[in-house]
Amino acid sequence: MAVSAPFCHGVPPFTAAARGSSARSRGGRLGLVEGCCSGRIVAAATDAAPVTGAARVGRRCELFDLHRQIVPYVDSWGWQKSIVERRKALVGIDTDTDEDHSDTLIALQHPPVYTLGNGNDEKYLNFNIEDSPIEIHRIDRAGQVTYHGPGQLVLYPIINLRYQKKDLVWYQRSLEDVIIRALQSAFSIKASRIEGLTGVWVGEQKVAAIGIMCTRWIVYHGLALNVTTDLTPFQHIVPCGIKGRSVGSIKRIFQMASNGRELNDAELMDTAYESLIKEFAEFFQLSLEPSPDLHL
């Protein structure tokens, strides 16, 4: 049986504590804001430092770093489903290698696309679904409509919660914690939750959406963080079915704090990626092992 949890819907409030957390170095953060493809894919070359230190602990997790690449939504969705099916087949089976039971993390960006959860109400679309201004897909998660596009950092963790905690609310709250810590660590941005709503907020602006699907305690889909995203497409929908709330991005927050000064998009994206995967690995006690190819 598959169980889905939303990008959008509210869930009971829960505060997850990191396990094995340690003091984090604040060196290297930008500090600009205070207080506030199907088939074989080759991972992007990056100047980012490899995951080291506290991030290299615990259970093995393959990392496919495509965070500088624009990957069609249908490709990434297909990859996830293929990996999940392989993992499901191994549940309860003893195998010879740790690789057979490893977790997976895919980092990427998407071209402009709207995704509709399996419980979506079209009243949250400000257009006729047959005349969508951009690509649109119904997918196997719960929740309402959301937008993905260039400049938005998407992480798709495919994790067996039998090795973590068999609790979907805990997992969603944990992903929120990862984002909140990454924003503070890398950018000195003070982010938070809003009770009853899923996601991460800076003031009244939602900067990250979270949504998952679970089958046999293997979770997929994940999180989307607006880094340098063009926010215009959000105006054509009621994001996540939440009325009266605005959507923001790291870049916009910096612009508001820096009197509109232009910032380097590539630097913001790389910094967000490095911080997010570091916090992810530390929180879930995973050893991220970069893999050059996603060969399905």
Name the catalytic one among 8, 61, 214, 240: 240
Burial of 29 (0-12, 13-18, 19+ CB in 10 A): middle
In 3D, which of 152, 144, 245 has the Cα closest to residue 202?
245
Contact 215, 88 (CB under 8 A): yes
For residues 175 and 170, give the distance between their C-alpha atoms in angstroms, rounded to a whole number. 9
Q: Which residues contact 35 (CB under 8 A, 6 or more apart)?
A: 188, 190
**What's the one-letter identity of residue 293?**
D
The encoded tokens of residue 134 equal 């951009």
Secondary structure class of 229 (helix, strand, coil): coil
* β pairing state of 205-215 and 197-202: antiparallel
Whether 37 is catalytic: no
* β pairing state of 135-138 and 113-116: parallel
Give the total residue count for the chain.
Answer: 296
**What's the one-letter identity of residue 41?**
I
Secondary structure class of 73 (helix, strand, coil): helix
Q: How far apart, in Å, are the Cα atoms of 30 and each of 33, 207, 228, 271? A: 8, 18, 15, 8
For residues 12 and 176, give the distance between their C-alpha atoms in angstroms, rounded to a whole number. 13
The encoded tokens of residue 130 equal 């047959």
Catalytic residue list: 240
